[in-house]
Amino acid sequence: MVRAMLSSFASQYYQISLVLILAAFSIPISRKIAVADIPILILMGLIFGPFLGIIHHSFAIYFMTEFGSVGIGILGIVIILYYESHNINFRVIRRHFWNIVSLDTLGLVVTALVGGAIFSLMFRAPFSIGFMFGAIISPTDPATLIPLFKRIRIKEDVSGTLVGESIFNDPLSIILFTIAVAMVAPTSSYVSFFTSISSRVGIPLASVIYLLIQITVPSIIGIVVGFSVLYLNRLLNFENLLVALLLGTVLLEFTVLEASGITPFPAIIATGAIVGNFSDKSIFWNRESNFQENLSFLAQAVIFILLGSVVTRADLRAYIPYGIAISLAVMLVVRPISVYVSTLPTRAKWMPRRIDRKVVTFMSLVGPRGVVSVVLSTLPYAIGLVDANPLLLKWGPLISVMTAFVVLISIVVQTVYVPVISHRLFGMAEAKPGDKSEE
C-alpha cells in the first residue's frame, strides 16, 4: 500500500514538474518562430498529452478541477484576474462604461441563447442543456487578449473596451451558469442559494436579485479590502512582504466568499483594481506587481498546457468535425450577433460616444474563449455524479469536449488572424518590443 501511494505521488509530481518545464520552454520557442506563446502551450499539451501519453488525461482533469479541492483552474483564475485588474484603466472604463455593461449583460445572454440553440440543433439536445453550454462559452478570455494586444498597435479605447469586457464577464458568466444549472438540476447543492430565492419569487426575478447580490456584495468587500491594505501599508510598511500580504488576502477573499455561496471574483477584481490604481507606486509595490505578473503568467501557462492535455485521442477522432463546426459557429456567428445586438443601444444617434462601424466589426471578430469556460465545462458532469442527474450525466461529457474544442480553436485561430484584421481595418502594424499602443 505504501509503495502504491509513493508510486501515485511520484507519478503526479513527475507530471507537475513536466508541465512547469514545458511552460518555461514556450517563451523561447514562441520567440524563435514569431508566434504568440498561447498556441505553443496548447500544442505542447496536445503533443505530451493525447499524442505521446506522457501527461495523462486523468491527471490533467484532476489537476485542473480537483487539485487542492478546487483545482488549479479556479486557483489560476483567482491569480490571473487579480493581476489583470491591476491594469484596469478607469479612464477608459468610464469612457466606455455603457459599452462594457451592454457587452457583459445583453451580450452574454445573447451568446448563451444563440450558442445554446446551435448546440441543441447540432446534437438534438434539450434547450436547457444547450443554454448551459452557451453560458459556459459566453465569457471571453483576458488571459489571451492582454498578451495579444501587446503584440499589435491598436487604440486604447478599442483594446480597453475588449479587455474590460473580458475581465468583468468572467464572474457574470459564472452567475449565468448557476442559473443554467438551476434550470436543469434545481435540487443541486451547487445552486442552493439561487433556488432558495427562486422558490419565493420565481426564476426571472430571482435571476435579477441573484445577479445584483453576486455583483454588489463582493465588489463592496473587494473595494474595502483594497483600501484597507493601502492604509495598513502606510501605517506599518510591509516592504517586500507586501507580496505575501496581498496574495494571502486575495486567497482569503476567495475562500470566505466561496464558502458563503457568493461569487468571489468581483471582490478579487475590485481589490486588484484599487491596489493597481491607488498605491503609491513605490519600489515595493512594483515588486508586488512584478511578482503577480510572473505568477499570473505561470498560471496561464499551466492551464493552457493542461487544456491541450484534457482532450483524448478518442475525442479527437470522434468529435473533431463537430468541434470545428461549433467553434467556427461561435467565432463567426454567435460572437458577431452578440456584439452587434449588444452595441445597438450605444450606436444610437443620440449617444455622445457612438462606436465606429469598423470598431464594432473588429470587436465582433475578437472573442477567444479560455480558462473560465474550461473550468466551468467540467462541472455539469461532476454535478450530475453528485446529484445522480440523468441529463447532466448524459450531456456533461459532450459539453466538456465541445468546450475544449471551442477554446482551443478560438485561441489558436484568433491569435493568428487578429493582427491581420487589425491591420486591414485600422492600418496598424504589429507592435515591436517596447512599443506602446496608440492613445
SS3 364: helix
**Calpha distance 9→319 (Å, rounded):** 33
When pLDDT is averaged across residues 60-80 and rounded to a whole number, the result is 79
How many Å is the maximal CA-CA distance in the chain? 73
Per DSSP, 189 falls in state G
What's the fold here for domain 12-426?
A: Na+/H+ antiporter like fold (1.20.1530)
| pLDDT-derived band at 353, boundaries 50, 70, 90 | low
Instruction: Report pLDDT digits (tens) over 169-199.
Output: 887 888 889 889 988 888 887 888 888 888 8
Provide the grid cell at 436: 506602446
Provide the grid cell at 391: 441529463
Name the phi and psi angles at 425, rounded to 5.
-80, -40
| pLDDT-derived band at 429, boundaries 50, 70, 90 | very low
**Calpha distance 27→30 (Å, rounded):** 5
What is the rounded end-to-end Cα distance, in angstroms, of the chain? 63
H helix or E strand, kind and range, residue 301: helix 283-310
Instruction: Report pLDDT digits (tens) over 274-311.
Output: 998 888 878 888 888 888 888 888 888 888 888 788 77
* pLDDT of 110 strictly over 80: yes
**Calpha distance 64→20 (Å, rounded):** 14
* pLDDT of 434 strictly over 50: no
pTM for this model (two decimals): 0.80
* pLDDT of 432 strictly over 50: no
Highest mean pLDDT among 38-42, 66-70, 154-158, 318-322: 318-322
H helix or E strand, kind and range, residue 155: none
pLDDT at 36: 65
Amino acid at 219: S
Amino acid at 300: Q
When pLDDT is averaged across residues 339-346 and rounded to a whole number, the result is 86
pLDDT higher for 205 or 271?
271
| pLDDT-derived band at 225, boundaries 50, 70, 90 | very high
* pLDDT of 220 strictly over 50: yes
Provide the grid cell at 290: 512584478
HSE, CB side, 13 Å, CA atoms: give it for residue 85.
28
Asked if 366 contacts 145 with a C-beta cutoff of 8 angstroms, the reply is yes
Name the phi and psi angles at 139, rounded to 5.
-80, 140
H helix or E strand, kind and range, residue 434: none
HSE, CB side, 13 Å, CA atoms: give it for residue 359.
18
pLDDT at 437: 40
**Calpha distance 224→216 (Å, rounded):** 12
**Calpha distance 222→224 (Å, rounded):** 5
Ordered by start, the domain boundaries in the chain are: 12-426
When pLDDT is averaged across residues 422-427 and rounded to a whole number, the result is 81
**Calpha distance 23→27 (Å, rounded):** 8
| pLDDT-derived band at 433, boundaries 50, 70, 90 | very low
CA angle 425, 427, 429 (to 5 degrees): 120
